[in-house]
Amino acid sequence: MFWQSVDAFLTRIRPHRQGLSLAIDGVLVALGWQFTYLFRLGFERWLSARPSYDHGVLVGVAACYLVVFRLLDVPKGMWRFSGFGEIKRLLLGCLIAGSVSAVVVLMAQLREVPRAVLMLHPVMVLFGVCGVRILYRTVYEHMRMQVSGRSTETRRALVLGAGDAARRLLAGIQHEGWVVVGLLDDDPAKHDARVAGVPVLGPMALLPEQAQTQGATHVIVAVPSAPMAVRRRIIDLAAGTGLTVLTVPGARELQDGQRVPLRDIQPEDLLGRDPVTLDEGGIAEVLNDKVVLVTGAGGSIGSELCRQIARYGPRHIVLFELSEYALYAIEQELSEKWPHVPLVRLIGDVKDPDRLREVFARWRPQIVFHAAAYKHVPLMEEENALAALRNNTIGTHCAARAAAEHGVGRFVLVSTDKAVNPTNVMGATKRAAELAISALATQFPATSFMAVRFGNVLGSSGSVIPKFKEQIAKGGPVTVTHPDVIRYFMTISEAARLVLQAAAIGRSGQVLVLDMGEAVKIVDMARDLIRLAGHTEEEIGIEFTGLRPGEKLYEELLADSDSTIPTPVAGLRVARMEVDADLPGRIAAWLRENENPPDRSDHAVKQRLRVLVPEFTSS
């Protein structure tokens, strides 16, 4: 308790460190002057033999030392880190100040000041200022050992939140070199209480004041159960301190008895909305002990689907992926985290119907999640339109038809909000894919075909977040297409769970959409990432480059003509698309025309897409 009180006292005076350092050094200069006289004249004469103007000389000498120390930034030195570099700075300061003082005294012809005092005084001062710093460092390291079990400097944290997550957090990090100096919580009942021996200092509004008073180096947000809007407000408050901000995972990721880990603030923490709660029991019933095939298994969405599926105990997960490296990476991860889930690792192209029929005939999957797609809007808009059509539309039809022919129970297409009133090739090919599986739904009633639409996925390949982070790391500028562009966002985990939920509750021919809350301005997301990286907009600028070909200012989740109905899962709705009776015939003819078209130009591809998707408009 004594050493904790000492630590608290040192923390309180830390904001005044430079002034205190100068004051102590001034006292040591005066004491050095007295000891020098004592050493030179002895006890009998060290007071009586001084000249009458000695006090004035001492004030001038002390002022000289303090000015020189100030010019050499001696007060900025942190005593708990004092080492050889600090001693060299003090040695230089004493030599300069001692020499200047001696020269001034001699030039003033103050002959009664002993020359030996002028020569020895800098040595005495050097011993004093070095000694007090070494003593402070010794005491400080002993105090650190008593308080935290480590003699080295620790990270000092203020924790926002004083609930169960904070209690479990304290149980772990205080043995890992952290010193938690206090907690802040808006619940008045918790004020002046203690959590694991750490005081609750008051409401969160006191954070700026307490961060300075307590000498905090980090702020930890420990409110995993709070609504997302509240978490966003707390993160904004923490970011305003200029300190490093860490957080604990969300309530869903934490398990009872589990040690609470720390992580950096992620973009998903800034969404400001609560994730949709899904029907875990229904998903488990659909996936448990089933053979599940995932196309594009190594991609951003496909790999997260595999991770989520593995949690429900499938009989096999068939990983179907064109990229050798992506397949290897997801296979290694799944094998390490879920070693008891059997994996089938297959290289294959969804545009190869023979390979698909071979795979379906051998492994007999009961559920297929189709995540293989090209999704980068500008990349598909120019020079790659035919590749997008073949992969996103024809590839979907090949995979869906092979699934139906081999008795697959459920086929789930991962679609996009860009399929609604598309203005780009990627969105148009995805809308065409939705129509293709709608047509198959009328031809193969034994298989349930469904699609899932969602907005932009945070952190997925090709998304803005990795690009922004890379630009910030390089010093900027961060490029945003337009100051008014808005997007709907969700996390990769949430997107994957939505797809799994579609498999559980969806019916053939349906498109499921998520209530994604408020759209987010891309420029606001960029500003948040700059701030969380510890920079300002003055340091990392934002540059507007203009909308790219095919890009909208805003995205839609439902077309105007779509009708929606609620589902048992809050936040999910179903859009049943209008399907013409002649759609299967039109789709079949359209697919034959586009398998090997005579005109492969982007313009021709867009023209053919408009035949099937008349609402498609492009620049």
Residues labelled as active-site residues: 418
| Closest of 338, 343, 313, 341 to residue 328, by C-alpha | 343
Q: In which residue are the tokens 């298989």 written?
A: 447
Q: Which amino acid is at 75?
A: P
The span from the CA of 428 to the CA of 418, in Å, is: 8
Element (H, E) at 72: none
**Rounded to 5°, angle at Cα 432 from 430 and 433:** 60
Q: Please, where are the H alpha helices in 243-323?
A: 280-287, 300-310
Which pair of structure tokens corresponds to residue 386? 């035919």
Strand partners, 155: 178
Which pair of structure tokens corresponds to residue 318? 């068939």
Sheet holding 263-264, edge to edge: 194-195, 198-202, 178-184, 155-160, 218-221, 244-247, 263-264
Which pair of structure tokens corresponds to residue 230? 């509240």
The span from the CA of 524 to the CA of 232, in Å, is: 13
The span from the CA of 555 to the CA of 569, in Å, is: 23
| Closest of 487, 473, 478 to residue 522, by C-alpha | 487
260 CB contacts (<8 Å, ≥6 apart)?
165, 168, 169, 172, 222, 248, 249, 254
DSSP 558: S
Buried/exposed code over 62-80 (b: 16+ C-beta within 10 A; e: otherwise): bebbbebbeebebbebebb
| Closest of 375, 359, 458 to residue 413, by C-alpha | 375
CB–CB of 383/605 below 8 Å?
no
DSSP 114: -
**Rounded to 5°, angle at Cα 123 from 117 and 126:** 135
The span from the CA of 395 to the CA of 576, in Å, is: 23
